[in-house]
Amino acid sequence: MQEFSGEEQEWQVTVDAAEAGSRLDAALARAVPVFSRNRLKDLILAGSVSINGQAVDEPKYKLRTGDEILLVAPEPVEAEPIPEDIPLDILYEDDDLIVINKPVGMVVHPAPGNLTGTLVNALLHHCGASLKGIGGVRRPGIVHRLDKDTSGVMVAAKTEAAHNHLAAQFADHGRTGPLHRAYTAFAWGRTQQASGTVEAPLGRDPANRLKQAVRKDGREAITHYRVEARYGDEGWDITRIRCELETGRTHQIRVHMAHIGHPLVADQLYAPGFATKVNRLPEAARAAVHALGRQALHAAELGFEHPSTGEEMQFEAPLPPDLEALVVAIEPFDRAFAR
């Protein structure tokens, strides 16, 4: 039996016969699912748990029928990043989570060189007291990321329970659940197939620490793609591609498309050898590519199961202005094809 009191800070659990013999941290993880097992272990080690009135700081403690467990979680401390009043394009928000359309140029999480102006800074200001604390810190729960120069749909958790639930879905990559991620990409060249799968393991490029590369000893990486449109004229071709991820590695789509010979338009990291192709474009398209200044990639769709209601939710973000300008410039050169 579990009883709750206060503002999500104190829990009382009575051990029944089914939990007798269980480890303290494991039993608490089942009884108080708002916390991850690692977080509960930290709380136990910090002296936040007592059994029958006596403090217990051993996560492996074996429970007995009738034991009365009291968990007192401290108030979340303020996050180190500074809240900043940065406008957000909010697609949805409730007590558990927030879904936003991330703009081009915004870094997701503070890091050396980008300590301010990030999505986390913006969410800290916007969400304020509605952030209930994750890992003991009043902060938004980032469960996935987009590159600084990739726009599109992102979700962040407001509570520890929501964070754990969403993180599990992203770890599963939609293999057994409703998680769904689709990206719109514009790639150089004309793919031989209208659809396909790139299955190539990825790891850090030994020659350039800023890049990822296909490596035999890399982590599993799978991208499914489908051609949505082809554009071109004498001397140039651009293909609009829908990519769906079965894994979520750093720069995955960018590396995989370059691996099959079709790097993304304006990708300065993975398509340097394609810079001369820009000169073959018609004037309006050439200007649109130069104006991009970033890889032509957009997180267009995101679907997941709501952590509290179980509802399957789907969100879409329209192409940002810079990619819309590219479409307008190359649409007159649409090469019709049978999908």
Three-class DSSP category at 71: strand
- Token pair in block for residue 18: 């089914």
- Token pair in block for residue 278: 């820009």
**Residue showing tokens 């977080």:** 39
Which of the residues are catalytic?
147
173: left (phi > 0), else alpha (psi -120 to 50), else beta? left
Strand partners, 2: 13
- Token pair in block for residue 328: 């307008």
Distances (CA, A) of 281 to 44, 216, 277, 333: 63, 36, 7, 11
Sign of CA dihedral 246, 227, 255, 313: negative
Which 8-state DSSP code applies to residue 332?
G
Neighbours of 84 (CB within 10 A): 15
d(C-alpha 46, C-alpha 44), whole Å:
5
Which helix or strand (DSSP H or E) is residue 163 part of?
Answer: helix 160-172
Strand partners, 68: 14
Distances (CA, A) of 232 to 238, 240, 333: 6, 11, 5
Q: How many CA atoms lie within 13 A of 192 on its CB side?
A: 3
Residue 331: which residues within 8 A CB-CB, separation 6 or more? 231
Phi, psi of 335, rounded to the nearest 5 degrees: -100, 105
Give Cα 298 distance to the centre of its chain. 13
**Residue showing tokens 């031989």:** 192
